[in-house]
Amino acid sequence: MKSNMKRYTEKEYKKDELLAIIASNLELDATRKKQMETAYKAVNDVLSSDEEFFKGYEITVYPQGSMLIGTTIKPLPGKEFDLDIVLHVESSYLNHTPSEIYNALYRVLSNHDTYKPLLKKKSRCVRIDYNSDFHMDILPGCIITINNSRLMIPEDERRLSWSRTNPKGYAEWFKEIAERNKNSFLLQERYNLITEAKIETEDLPADVYLKTPLQRTVQIVKRYRDLFYQDKDTSKTPAVSSVVLTTLLAQSHDGGLSIQNALKNAILKLRNLSDGYKLRKEKFAVYNPVDNHEDKNKRENFTDSWEAKHYESFISFVEDLEKKVFAFLNNEIDPTIYKDLFGNGFYKENVQTYIKLEERLKGNPQLEKLLSGNAFTDSSGNINTSTGVQNGRHGFYAES
């Protein structure tokens, strides 16, 4: 296996691996994800069986946001996970009014014994509050054109006009950026090495090596966002929304190979916007990157409701995030620095997992052969020192 990667120092590599382990443990577990999948599929079945409005249309219920792009994080203790769902109605918005589609959704659910006591009307969506650790916001939308994922959704709480959105298109946009240079990611190549050397990793989080640097960066920044605002009055200091953060972080991503690189670029992008408002009162807008309406005023703007307090809140958050991220990147593992950025959970578990893995890697003779460049892989896939195809030298532990 030949490496095209730049040579990383041991410190750089280890920090990236630790960040991946941390982010993996921040993610929603498989049980929760399955529970949520079951919940929105059940809603789909109920709506599909409606004998009045939805009977004549093909409908689909699917997740949007973090569930769709793989950037979920666990809610802080006492908080709920916000599961965002789209009700995609395969009928032109020209045949309906926003109120009609919204009211049909609410009617069906309010007539169902399971959902009736759990329903709440929100401005654009209908919420099902499961009174556990998550609630589901269902956003109804009608198609703009056939065979296209773009939708029209209710504009606001009055539901008198339509607004554009494209959840699936957004996910494709994010994925394309996230997976640039995928085969050369620092952790992807490390995963390949571990697989070749047949090192046991059963006690690692299942996807520790499989997420992209951009996905991990979004998870890390959102986690700190939750910590930063948890004790604040968000009516005065509004929290920066996930879609704004995710969009800005994706736009900042240059296809770098490590989580650390992605984080640094993210901070630079956020800080430039923050300083623009702080120093020159330059307001910025964050548009849906897949909404290319010729009239800019009609594009979906994720910051359309921002006032001065939102920009001031953004400045405070970015300045604090920058301090915490660089303290973590520039220092050895320290419980205080860790907790400042990630909170109290999983510190001991993350570090122990990391140390165990390092011990296995350093003590594995096959991996040492791969790293030194003196290894061959034979036709059966076995690593040896004499026959087969020679593996290129890997620079994980080389000097910078």
Which residue's entry shows tokens 């004549």? 56
Q: Which residues of the chain form CATH 3.30.460.10?
A: 30-170
The amino acid at residue 151 is: L
Q: In this structure, are residues 249 and 295 in contact, taking their beta carbons and an 8 Å threshold?
A: no
So what's the pLDDT on residue 363?
Answer: 67
For 133, phi and psi rounded to 5 degrees?
-115, 15
State whether residue 380 is helix, strand or coil. Answer: coil
Q: In this structure, are residues 393 and 376 in contact, taking their beta carbons and an 8 Å threshold?
A: no
Q: How far apart are CA 10 and CA 395, in angstroms?
A: 9
Handedness of CA 107, 109, 113, 119 (dihedral sign): negative
158 is written with which tokens? Answer: 């009055």
For 376, phi and psi rounded to 5 degrees?
-125, 150
Question: Which residues does 252 contact at the CB level (< 8 Å), separation at least 6?
Answer: 265, 266, 268, 269, 270
So what's the pLDDT on residue 195?
Answer: 77
Q: How far apart are CA 198 and CA 180, in angstroms?
A: 27
Q: In this structure, are residues 163 and 323 in contact, taking their beta carbons and an 8 Å threshold?
A: no
Count of other CB atoms within 10 angstroms of residue 267: 22
So what's the pLDDT on residue 397?
Answer: 33
Q: In this structure, are residues 228 and 321 in contact, taking their beta carbons and an 8 Å threshold?
A: yes
Handedness of CA 352, 397, 210, 76 (dihedral sign): positive
Q: How far apart are CA 163 and CA 161, in angstroms?
A: 7
DSSP 301: B
Closest to 169 (Cα-Cα) out of 191, 197, 141, 194: 141
So what's the pLDDT on residue 283?
Answer: 95
Could you tell me the pTM of the whole model?
Answer: 0.87
CATH superfamily for domain 30-170 = Beta Polymerase, domain 2 (3.30.460.10)
pLDDT tens-digit profile, the chain (400 residues) = 344 444 567 677 788 989 999 999 999 988 899 999 999 999 999 999 999 999 989 999 999 999 999 999 999 988 899 999 999 999 999 999 999 999 999 999 999 999 999 999 999 999 999 987 799 999 999 999 888 889 999 988 888 899 999 999 999 999 999 999 888 888 887 787 777 777 777 777 767 888 999 999 999 999 999 999 999 999 999 999 999 999 999 999 988 899 999 999 999 999 999 999 999 999 999 999 998 877 777 788 999 999 999 999 999 999 999 999 999 999 888 889 999 999 887 788 888 888 877 777 776 665 555 555 554 545 544 445 556 555 444 433 332 2
